[in-house]
């Protein structure tokens, strides 16, 4: 039985290094292509930072160029959804040019407890959205590890 397995291995003993090199080149090609496409079409959602203090979670989103009316904040249980909607319409009556575009982006942040809607506060100044989520309703407890 062991000799049967050895025969099978010998029949398929092929040098796959050219194939691996080809696959590596393909991965690099697509990685670069999508990275360039990402820069052109801005598929990358806006940056979000989450910090934890003793009493709060502080969620900061960088939204330069957006207005308060373009931002939507939604609480869904233990998740905070930040969405932005950028609608643009350009009409040139003299040249007969009409352009409409819409770009929607969103980020979802999860915390380990139900987010209290009334106590959660949001401030938007100078393109920075800051949301403070209090931990007072948290049922989170830490357990000591024994030796």
- Which of 13-22, 62-71, 73-82 is predicted with the least confidence, judged by mean pLDDT? 13-22
* pLDDT (tens digit per residue) in 80-114: 999 998 877 777 777 777 777 777 889 999 998 89
Q: Report strand pairing: 71-76 vs 128-134.
A: unpaired
Res 75: pLDDT: 95
Query: Distance between CA atoms of 18 and 11, rounded to whole angstroms?
Result: 18
* pLDDT (tens digit per residue) in 1-51: 556 666 655 666 667 778 778 888 787 777 666 666 655 555 567 889 999
Q: Give residues with Cβ within 8 angstroms of 96, minimum separation 6.
A: none
Query: Distance between CA atoms of 97 and 120, rounded to whole angstroms?
Result: 45
């Amino acid at each position: 039985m062991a000799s049967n397995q050895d025969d099978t291995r010998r029949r398929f003993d092929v040098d796959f290094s050219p194939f691996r090199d080809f696959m590596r080149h393909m991965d690099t090609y697509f990685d670069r292509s999508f990275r360039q496409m990402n820069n052109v079409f801005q598929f990358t959602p806006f940056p979000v930072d989450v910090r934890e203090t003793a009493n709060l979670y502080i969620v900061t989103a960088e939204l330069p160029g957006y207005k308060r009316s373009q931002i939507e904040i939604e609480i869904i249980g233990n998740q905070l959804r930040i969405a932005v909607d950028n609608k643009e319409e350009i009409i040139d009556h003299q040249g007969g040019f009409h352009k409409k575009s819409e770009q929607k982006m969103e980020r979802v942040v999860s915390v380990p407890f139900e987010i209290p809607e009334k106590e959660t506060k949001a401030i938007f100044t100078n393109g920075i959205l800051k949301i403070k989520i209090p931990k007072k309703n948290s049922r989170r407890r830490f357990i000591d590890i024994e030796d």
